[in-house]
Amino acid sequence: MNKVCTKCKRKYPRSSEFFPRDKRKSDGLNSHCKVCRSLYQIYRMYNITPEEYNKLLIEANNHCMICGKHKKDALYKKLCIDHDHKTGRVRGLLCNRCNNMLGMAADNPLILLKGIEYLKRGKA
């Protein structure tokens, strides 16, 4: 049995593989498919449209903008939207590890440079 996404109007099998679970709905599934929900969350969190997100993917050639890992090899098979926490401005797409690295360094270039120097000393 199929279910139609109320957002994109596409038909998908009626399952949690295609629709997020929602206890409030009679069939237990959200009325928007997972793709539309994901795009809505991206817009809500980062204020970018699906077209702008796709432009970022093209600019990055589907690779992390720091380490070059392809999105299919990244955690969850997708790239993270990296943004400046102070301004909210989107900077680009990164794999989960590189995104976490920047976050753990509090987006501070000096910490990252000190980390590089530390790694260089350890190799000597």
Give the predicted TM-score (pTM) of the model. Answer: 0.75
The overall average pLDDT reported for the chain is: 93
Asked if pLDDT for residue 123 goes beyond 80, the answer is no
In 11-108, which ranges are continuous DSSP H helix? 34-46, 50-59, 96-104
For 12-25, how does the pLDDT look when each residue is reduced to its tens digit (9 = 90+)? 999 999 999 999 99
Q: Which fold has domain 48-124?
A: His-Me finger endonuclease fold (3.40.1800)
Percent of the chain whose pLDDT exceeds 90: 78
Per-domain residue ranges of the chain: 1-46, 48-124
Enter the tokens of residue 36. Answer: 């539309």
Percent of the chain whose pLDDT exceeds 70: 99
For 62-105, how does the pLDDT look when each residue is reduced to its tens digit (9 = 90+)? 999 999 999 999 988 889 999 998 898 999 999 999 999 999 99
